[in-house]
Structure formats: structure tokens, C-alpha cells
Amino acid sequence: MTDTTALDSFLDKWRSRWPEWRVVEVFVPVAQRPVALAWFSLLQEFTDAMNIAGDPLPADAKLAWWGEELRDWQQQRSRHPLGRVLEPHRAPWFELAEALPALIRLREQPRNEEQAFETAMPLATAIAEVERVLFAPPATGRWTTAVAAQLLAARLEGAGAAAIPVQAGTQPAPSQPDWAARLLQHWPTRASGPLPRRLASALARTQLQRFKGSGEPVTTLAPPRALWLGWRAARDS
């Protein structure tokens, strides 16, 4: 398999998971499109490892491999096809590698809402710091909470009830739609951050709004709806 073919296989996984991206990426500057596509394809690899079904050992080994790969990116060395696109950017890859174990902890059912966000926040922070380098957003603005909510949403969509916090005392655990609603409260409609993040966040947020329960598919947005959503996200700069 050539490097180009191998790269395309990872990019196609992202495109298959988020077909609306082909519509909204028209708002991304042309020079940033390959980087954005590679970056979100990498994050999809991490999400898949978090939501592994069955024996977690293969996924844990994969995350350990990714940790070593990202540390090599810090030294301007890469083996993975996605690294050919991303590694030339002098982003804090080491810090991202150090935050990957949060994906393993996110598989555990949290005690409460606060613990859920505390678990997601180190990885969300590392993701945001990489995006500061990849996409050079304005110096102001924080989008780590929105990224943390997106990580928790991906866990809910992949694991269902196992992702919902166990409430303390006599308060019952929320339903899947209730937990989705709580996550949306932490996830502003007008997200800050660089344009590619705002677009990806808008797609993930509207998917969570339409989420009914694990195992129930969420329909793909019609192109006009996706285009309108992308326009709004691009405007919110």
C-alpha cells in the first residue's frame, strides 16, 4: 500500500463518519483543508479507541502506539500517513500524547457531571493547544469546554447508558436524552476557536441535538441544512 493510498483510507473514514464535512469545508481556506481533514481524521482514531466494544486491550495497545508516534512527531519524525501532513507543524504533540490516557478513563462510568468533565478536560485542553498551532486562531477565546462536551457526546453516542453519570444520593441517573441535554448546556451554540473547529463542533452539536439513544441512527443533514450550519459557524468569528 502506498503512502497516498494509506492516507486516503484514514481520510475516507472521517468522510464516511461525517459526510456533511464535504459541504461545510468550503468555508475553510484552501490551504488549511488538508490539515483540517488529517487532524479530524486523527481525532476520529482516538474516538474509535475510546468507544471500543469488547476486549479493550487491542485499543489500549493502539493508544500506546499513538502516544509513541506523537512523541516522535515532537522530534519531527513520523511513521503514520497522517503524520506526513500534521507532523511538519510544530504543535505540542508531546502534550497531546501525555493526555491520551484520558480516553481510557472516559470509558468508565463517571460518578457525576463534574467528574465527567474533569476526566475529559486534560485531553480537550491538549486538543485545543494543538489547534492553536495548526489553525492560528485569534489569541483570545477558549474552546476547551466545548471540546470536552464533544468528547463526552461521542462517548454517549458510542456507549449509551454506560456513559451517563451515576448520580449521588437519591437522585436518579439521567436518561440518555437528558444527559445529551446537559452536555448541550456546556456547549455554546456560538463556539469560539479556529474556523475548522467551529465547523466540526457545529456538526457534532447538531448531531447531539438529534440524538435519541444509543443504537438509534442519526440521519445525515441535508446539504442545504449543512451549508447553512457551516455559514453560521464561519460567520461567528
Dihedral through CA 109, CA 110, CA 113, CA 118, nearest 10?
-130
What does the pLDDT read at residue 170? 53
pLDDT mean values, one per 10 residues, the chain (237 residues): 75 93 96 96 95 90 95 92 94 97 95 94 96 80 88 95 78 84 89 90 94 81 95 85
What does the pLDDT read at residue 139? 55
DSSP 3-state percent helix, strand, coil across the chain (nearest 5): 65, 0, 35
d(CA 47, CA 17): 11
- Three-state DSSP class for residue 237: coil
Using CB atoms within 10 Å of the CB of residue 58, give its burial: 0 to 12 exposed, 13 to 18 middle, 19+ buried. Answer: exposed
Residue of 175, 171, 182 whose CA lies nearest to 161: 175
The CA-based angle 177-184-164, given to 5 degrees, is 45
CA distances from 166 to 83, 172, 228 (A): 39, 8, 37
d(CA 218, CA 73): 36
What does the pLDDT read at residue 106? 96
Q: How many CB atoms lie within 10 A of CB 10?
A: 18
Architecture of domain 3-235: Orthogonal Bundle (1.10)
